Structure 1
């Protein structure tokens, strides 16, 4: 029976897009896994309801989840409430120097939905800390991309085996 993994992402400078795509690539290693990679602007409650597990990937902007990702959660929270309990999720955050506040926000939302974390969240740091560096296009290093591939594969494998 094919399982469905939904990866919802947002990216302003390309960093989060790269880590979301790496997670999708890793998840696709698993047979009988439908991987849906969807921008937060396009994702909605029906996408959440149709999936067996989730990866939420976003940048941290001004010590918070990016506004577009927040809008996704706002749009989907009540329509999905009480309907996706117990499903596994992981979080990927791309941040300049920290990322922990974005992780906390997503964890609070996931707690409200009663999702279960399938792995520790992953923060990919770009070390961008000047206006120019923050706004510049990002290139994520191979080690971080491989870690995101492995996270995607591990979640997909757990879904396929029914253990997450």
Structure 2
């Protein structure tokens, strides 16, 4: 009997928004019992976790029009150890943004292209419209309809992996 495929969700969250999004994706993916789901904070994830997974969801806040430093650190620590070992594996990304999110999504896309990962969904960007220092630093509460989008992405990712679609 072959082992279940593993979906690795790596996230960083400073104000709780991205964590909520990542947990919603995990809940959706976990509904499919054919795929093991691992949710790891970027500080705890590394190359061994990447190599052990058949698919990925990367989740980050957008900080100063970029991915978070913690997620960048994860990629820096893992990049060369997994290069040419994860070619063709599927990935998606979740971005919690104050106003835009597209530059953070582009950064993840560039890194994933280097790893030769295959995107299986458009970046899911949730905009909180936080524009003042107080709003940016405040604990976020992501709306239920946005969390449902994250859950649906996780579910679709797990189903696609289990069925061998990607």
Normalised by the size of structure 2, how large is the TM-score? 0.98
Instruction: Give the 4+ runs in structure 1 shifted more than 2 A.
Output: none
Displacement of 1:31 after TM fit?
Answer: 1.8
Displacement of 1:53 after TM fit?
Answer: 0.1
C-alpha distance in 2 between matches for 1:73 and 1:124: 22
Match of 2:53 in 1: 51
Match of 2:84 in 1: 82
C-alpha distance in 2 between matches for 1:119 and 1:160: 16
Normalised by the size of structure 1, how large is the TM-score? 0.99
Match of 1:41 among 43, 48, 52: 43
Q: Summarize the alignment of residues 122-161 of structure 1 with structure 2, pairs less than 5 Å apart.
A: 122-161=124-163
C-alpha distance in 2 between matches for 1:84 and 1:3: 14
Displacement of 1:33 after TM fit?
Answer: 1.2
Unpaired segments ≥5 residues, structure 2: none
Query: Is 1:103 aligned to residue 108 of structure 2?
Result: no
CA RMSD of aligned residues (A): 0.5
C-alpha distance in 1 between matches for 2:22 and 2:33: 19
